Chains A and B, each alone.
Chain A
Amino acid sequence: MQTMSKMQTVSDKNEKLIIRLQEVTRIYKVGVERIHALDGIDLELSENEYVAVMGPSGSGKSTLMNVLGCLDRATSGIYELDGEDTTRMTDAALARVRNERIGFVFQSFELLGQLSALKNVEMPLIYSKNGWWTRRKRAKNVLERVGLGDRIKHRPNQLSGGEKQRVAIARALVCNPSILLADEPTGNLDSKTSEGILKLFDQLHREGQTIIIVTHEDFVAHHAKRIIQMKDGLISSDMQNDRDPRDKTMTQSSGQEEKI
């Protein structure tokens, strides 16, 4: 019952719109050919949503990810993040948006090999305006939050795959982003480790984090509350996830919470 009331408060907050895409297209020119990677997408995302984007390769899900992450610009259409139109921003402003509002998690972790876990997590704060002076403390806190408080001095090659991805998630969270974008976060992990990472996502979601996961694996997608299917640069289906795996994992993950 307690969890139910918690869910209730979460859904109250759902009013706030974080992402609004309007008729967004992304067209690549390859020679004389024009490829419509995104062919007019409308999408709205509220705070604390947990969305999985699925679709076969070439469906445009990576392009959507890049546009949502402000790594790429829409060819046309409007993309509002936190109520701000990003389509007409300068490169520097976009870099700031990426720094402050977006956290990326990649399939292959993308950790810098010569730096310790702590330094890796600190990195986004190096480029942030306000976080620089408190970067060590904040990095430490967020590493503790993902359950790696005892591994902060380790280098990536001294960590397991799951631990590496946790460091990467900590790095994505260190700037308190509006959205966490994960591109196949379990693609390089075995299924047991994947489950651990997905549990971490569940935990973050419960803590109020907005999450978007790009995946082609059903068991990953079913952790999300909303599943978007893409095909040929368009959203082919957008539905709430009826099969909720949380019932099964709830007790375990709350146990994990206490441990942290």
Chain B
Amino acid sequence: MRALIQAPMAFVRLAYQSVYLALGQIWTNKTRSILTTIGIVIGVASVTAVIAALTGLKAKVLTLVETFGTNTIIIMPTNPEKGSSRESAWWTYRFLPEHFDGLLEHCPSVEHLSRTGGIGQRTAHYGERSAENVNIMGIEPAYLEIENRPVILGRIFSIIDNMQVRQVCLIEPKLRNKLRLDRDCIGQTIRLGHHAFVIVGVIEPRPELNFGESSQERYEVFIPFRTLFKLGKPGIFALAASKSAEVVEDAQAEIKFFLRRARNIRPTEPDTFQVDSLKSALETFNKIALMVTLVAGGIVGISLLVGGVGIMNIMLVSVSERTREIGLRKAVGAKKSAILTQFLIEAIVLCFFGGLVGVGFGQLLTMAIANIPNVELVDMAYIPLWAIGLSFAFSGTVGIFFGMFPAIKAARLDPIEALRHE
């Protein structure tokens, strides 16, 4: 029983004593300690800043995804990755409008579907004024539902608009301002290429995903899907929404099954289209983020390594400077383990100190990153708690790893030799 109490007490005593001695020693050699830990400080600061930037990026993307909705599914034609049709030209596997006929009836998990087509960019005119880079998209009414972009003024397309191939359009407030239309611009006519379109509604702008290349203004104009064919031969894709976020994968599978039949793909042949959800895109993004974190971590690991070598160097100097002290401590009864712990803890305390300052600098760096003008992507950067824990764990490990050799050297000193040391 006595031994049971004494063993942990002895450990506490040793730990307390070592930390106490280490702090005293570090305080005595302030300048040296600060210089020594700079390597660790830089390493930890950069690791936390990188993690903070990535975390901010992730948070940003997640909020964007939330506004788009995680139950959104994008259906695009693609070149199959393998098989005989691998090299075939794009028009052989492009979507035709009738491929999607009856999809909603056959796919119970799919709530909305909108065939969508693009014919690229045109210039929009209103009187003398014009706007370039106008992306013209042909959509079906469900599109606005799926993309979560309600009409803020006017109305959405009706089925009749589509059936009668009316030349009506929905615009964004941005374009209205650019062309200096009336505030209530419903009923005004703009020209897209050579065709006149009547504005029936203004829709909410798309949440901005600014990658820092905002020099060129882009506009979006939506027209009924069938009307689009008047303007040219569109590339067709489709947007769908599952009934809930939980059944996205079911919906994807159903769509895949339906489209393979609609496109007469034989069982052995690969898909000539892809069905992506934001959920799967998000997973891809997470993978990329993880890889970037690992690569950055590797680079930062090198700086921590350099810092660790600095710590080791200074600890070796410290051991040889304090040889007599070590000899004396051994003479008055310090065991090898006590000397070892003392020097090891000194190295660890140095590293922890570096880690602490490093996290502080990392916080400053993060604030700087978050406030870079015109780069909204990382304005949500913050240091997550686990990164702080990781930094301390890492600097502690560096301390143990690089402090071990000098500490062993100190512990092995022969007390007689050590006391004779000049």
Contacts and interface: CB of A to CB of B under 8 A. Distances in A.
A114 B331 contact: no
Contact of A72 (B10, B24, B416): B416
A127 B338 contact: yes
Given A123-B329, A129-B10, A106 B419 contact: yes
Contact of B416 (A71, A99, A110): A71
B334 A127 contact: yes
A141 interface: no
Closest 9 CB pairs of A and B: A99-B333, A124-B332, A95-B335, A127-B333, A98-B333, A110-B328, A127-B334, A71-B415, A92-B335
Contacts of A91: 335-336
A199 interface: no
B332 A123 contact: yes
A98 B332 contact: yes
Contacts of B330: 71, 95, 98
Interface of B: prevailing SS: helix
A127 B24 contact: no
A71 B6 contact: no
A127 B324 contact: no
B28 interface: yes
Nearest to B13: A132
A71 B331 contact: yes
Contacts of B397: none
Interface residues of B, number: 23
B121 interface: no
A115 B338 CA distance: 19
Contacts, number: 59
Interface in B333-379: 333-338
Contacts of A106: 328, 419
19 contacts: A71-B416, A72-B416, A92-B337, A98-B330, A99-B332, A99-B333, A104-B331, A110-B419, A114-B24, A123-B329, A124-B332, A124-B333, A126-B13, A126-B17, A127-B329, A127-B332, A127-B333, A128-B333, A129-B10
Contacts of A171: 332
A18 to B, nearest CB: 18
A110 B415 CA distance: 13
B325 interface: yes
Contacts of A260: none
Interface in B236-254: none
Interface in B1-37: 6, 10, 13, 17, 24, 28
Contact residue range for chain A? 20 to 34
Interface in A98-132: 98-100, 104, 106, 110, 112, 114-115, 123-124, 126-129, 132
A129 B10 CA distance: 7
Contacts of A99: 332-334
Interface string B191-228: 00000000000000000000000000000000000000
A69 interface: yes
Contacts of A110: 324, 327-328, 419
Nearest to B10: A129
Contact of B325 (A69, A95, A112, A126): A112
A96 interface: yes
Contacts of A126: 13, 17, 334
B28 A92 contact: no
Interface string A84-98: 000000011001101
B17 A129 contact: no
Contacts of A72: 416
B2 to A, nearest CB: 11
Given A96-B335, A124-B332, 17 more contacts: A66-B416, A71-B415, A71-B416, A91-B336, A95-B333, A99-B332, A99-B334, A110-B327, A110-B419, A115-B24, A124-B333, A126-B17, A127-B333, A127-B334, A127-B335, A128-B333, A129-B6
A255 to B, nearest CB: 32
A67 B415 CA distance: 12
A126 B336 CA distance: 14
B332 A92 contact: no
